[in-house]
């Protein structure tokens, strides 16, 4: 603009000089030649002014075009994710205002994109680490996202699942049906499935629609249009829950059954006595003895049940003290000696090293474990057999073994005998006064000490029950 001012001033002064020339010529009645001279001067100067004007506007428009190109380049950079600001413009016109606004917009966009990226990374990390299997299915019923837990449930890798039709991945018609219902606009749906046959796993299924809320213009009003464009599938494993429910049901059924047997016997013999057998001198004593035996059995059963429930509820007061295993084993064997010799069984402590490490434990509960194992060995070993107790220490553990030459346990039952009420031969167990709870109690006690209990056995040859206990640090 200052250039334009210069031009206008030049024009003004040159024009004034020419005008003065002209007036002077006219005043002095100059000849035609003089007039021609003036005209040529006039033309030359005008041409010069024109040239100057063109040059100035060319310069100005080139500078303008350069600034616009810089803005274009900047917009392109921002679209590509490069948010470096434009260099500050010195001028004070509309273009420098625009550059300033664009710079501010870029700063805001960068902040928004950064926070969105952080949010996305956080959500992805949460989804990845979740134990629940999560997948997103689009409107075409294709899996567009899944986490590791989800792919593990279907024995695949996330990459092998994504973009595949849901029906191919989720081979459960019930789940696919729930997805279809959600995609067709239904609210959150719930179901339950069971996978696998050998060791079935139970899952609760939740399928929720993903909706977009778009504004739709109808006439002069803007209305919210609710569109379902996908569904989220969440699989939550409930195998343990279902198993526990089953265990609880079985437990109630077992307890009722175990109680019914002695109660029925007691009731039956009591009635027999009342209806005349009291006078039967030959049998009345025997009937009363049967009642006493069943009552004793009931009492053992309720004692064991109480013990078990206290252990399971974590209400057992455990008094952890250093325990001398050699002394513990010696005392347990001594108290079982009477029962063993009554059944003509040899009972001995074999191989208990003198330097057996001390363990930290509740001596009275560990005595209970020994008593259960020795009682079983005596009950399930025919006369003439032998029972040996041994112990070894090492690798931070002490392992105690009770071995017998008894009837043994079939392979198929070995894993289950530590369950409550599980017996290989229920009738025989009852006959010898067993409650079916001894090994379950022993297992709980050993595990409460941080150890393990297991069995090795061969039918008709004998069994070895081992339990380990961590040694005191």
Binding positions for ligand ADP, rule: CB under 6 A: 372, 376-377, 380, 404, 406-407, 409, 417, 423-425, 429, 434-440, 463
The closest of 76, 80, 85, 88 to 108, measured between CA atoms, is 85
By beta-carbon proximity to ligand ADP, the closer residue of 209 and 406 is: 406
Q: Is 411 helix (H, G, I), strand (E, B) or coil?
A: helix
Closest CB 468 distance from ligand ADP, rounded Å = 18
The CB-side HSE value for 444 (13 A sphere, CA atoms) comes to 22
By beta-carbon proximity to ligand ADP, the closer residue of 74 and 380 is: 380
Q: Work out the widest C-alpha separation in the chain, in whole angstroms.
A: 180
By beta-carbon proximity to ligand ADP, the closer residue of 429 and 468 is: 429
Distance (Å, rounded) from C-alpha 362 to C-alpha 331?
15
Distance (Å, rounded) from C-alpha 165 to C-alpha 180?
12
Output the residue with the shortest Cβ distance to ligand ADP: 434
Contact yes or no for 206/238 (Cβ under 8 A): no
Closest CB 239 distance from ligand ADP, rounded Å = 25
Q: Is 349 helix (H, G, I), strand (E, B) or coil?
A: strand
By beta-carbon proximity to ligand ADP, the closer residue of 147 and 372 is: 372
Residues 6+ away with beta carbon under 8 Å from 247: none
By beta-carbon proximity to ligand ADP, the closer residue of 361 and 408 is: 408
By beta-carbon proximity to ligand ADP, the closer residue of 287 and 421 is: 421
Instruction: Return the CA Rg of the chain.
Output: 49
Closest CB 257 distance from ligand ADP, rounded Å = 14
Distance (Å, rounded) from C-alpha 267 to C-alpha 273?
10
Closest CB 409 distance from ligand ADP, rounded Å = 5
Closest CB 288 distance from ligand ADP, rounded Å = 25
Beta strand pairing call for 201-218 and 221-237:
antiparallel
Closest CB 402 distance from ligand ADP, rounded Å = 8
The closest of 453, 402, 444, 409 to 428, measured between CA atoms, is 409
DSSP letter string over 397-457? Answer: EEEEEEEE-SS---HHHHTTTTSTT--SSHHHHHHTT--S-HHHHHHHHHHHTT--EEEEE
Beta strand pairing call for 143-146 and 321-323:
unpaired
By beta-carbon proximity to ligand ADP, the closer residue of 133 and 434 is: 434
Distance (Å, rounded) from C-alpha 463 to C-alpha 386?
11
By beta-carbon proximity to ligand ADP, the closer residue of 235 and 439 is: 439
By beta-carbon proximity to ligand ADP, the closer residue of 67 and 444 is: 444
Closest CB 338 distance from ligand ADP, rounded Å = 18
By beta-carbon proximity to ligand ADP, the closer residue of 205 and 417 is: 417
DSSP letter string over 88-149? Answer: PP---SHHHHHHHHHHHHHHHHHHHHHHHHHHHHHHHHHHHH-SSEEEEEETTSBEEEE-HH
Closest CB 426 distance from ligand ADP, rounded Å = 7
Task: Kindly state the helix (H) or strand (E) to which residue 214 belongs, with its residue range.
Answer: strand 201-218
Task: Kindly state the helix (H) or strand (E) to which residue 62 belongs, with its residue range.
Answer: helix 32-79
Closest CB 374 distance from ligand ADP, rounded Å = 9
By beta-carbon proximity to ligand ADP, the closer residue of 172 and 429 is: 429
Closest CB 198 distance from ligand ADP, rounded Å = 25
C-alpha pair distances (Å), 327 with each of 322, 372, 391: 12, 17, 12
Closest CB 462 distance from ligand ADP, rounded Å = 8
C-beta neighbour count of 203 within 10 angstroms: 21
């Amino acid at each position: 603009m200052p250039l334009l001012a210069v031009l206008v001033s030049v024009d003004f002064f040159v024009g004034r000089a020419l005008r003065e020339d002209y007036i002077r010529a006219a005043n002095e009645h100059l000849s035609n030649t003089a007039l021609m001279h003036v005209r040529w001067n006039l033309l030359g100067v005008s041409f010069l002014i024109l040239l100057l004007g063109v040059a100035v506007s060319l310069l100005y428009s080139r500078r303008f075009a350069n600034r616009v190109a810089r803005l274009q380049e900047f917009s392109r950079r921002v679209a590509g994710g490069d948010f470096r600001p434009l260099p500050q413009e010195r001028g004070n016109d509309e273009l420098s205002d625009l550059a300033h606004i664009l710079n501010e917009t870029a700063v805001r966009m960068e902040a928004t994109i950064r926070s969105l990226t952080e949010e996305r990374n956080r959500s992805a990390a949460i989804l990845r680490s979740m134990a629940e299997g999560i997948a997103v299915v689009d409107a075409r019923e294709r899996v567009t996202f899944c986490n590791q837990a989800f792919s593990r449930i279907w024995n695949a890798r996330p990459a092998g699942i994504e973009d595949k039709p849901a029906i191919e991945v989720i081979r459960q018609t019930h789940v696919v049906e729930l997805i279809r219902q959600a995609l067709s606009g239904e609210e959150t749906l719930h179901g339950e499935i069971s996978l696998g046959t050998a060791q079935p796993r139970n899952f609760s299924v939740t399928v929720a629609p993903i909706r977009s809320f778009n504004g739709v213009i109808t006439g002069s009003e803007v209305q919210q249009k609710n569109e379902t464009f996908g569904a989220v599938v969440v699989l939550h494993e409930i195998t343990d829950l279902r198993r526990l429910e089953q265990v609880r049901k079985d437990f109630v059924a077992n307890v009722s059954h175990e109680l019914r047997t002695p109660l029925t016997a007691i009731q039956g013999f009591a009635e027999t006595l009342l209806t005349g057998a009291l006078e039967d001198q030959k049998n009345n004593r025997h009937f009363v003895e049967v009642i006493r035996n069943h009552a004793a059995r009931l009492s053992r059963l309720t004692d064991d049940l109480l013990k078990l429930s206290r252990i399971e509820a974590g209400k057992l007061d455990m008094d952890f003290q250093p325990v001398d295993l050699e002394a513990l084993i010696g005392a347990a064997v001594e108290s079982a000696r009477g029962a063993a010799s009554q059944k003509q069984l040899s009972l001995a402590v074999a191989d208990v090293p003198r330097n057996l490490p001390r363990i930290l434990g509740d001596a009275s509960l560990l005595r209970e474990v020994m008593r259960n194992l020795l009682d079983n060995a005596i009950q399930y070993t025919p006369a003439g057999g032998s029972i040996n107790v041994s112990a070894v220490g090492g690798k931070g553990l002490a392992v105690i073994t009770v071995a017998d030459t008894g009837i043994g346990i079939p392979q198929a039952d070995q894993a289950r005998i530590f369950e409550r009420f599980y017996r290989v031969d229920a009738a025989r167990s009852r006959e010898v006064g067993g409650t079916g709870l001894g090994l379950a109690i022993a297992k709980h006690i050993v595990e409460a000490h941080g150890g393990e209990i297991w069995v090795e056995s061969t039918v008709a040859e004998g069994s070895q029950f081992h339990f380990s206990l961590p040694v005191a640090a």
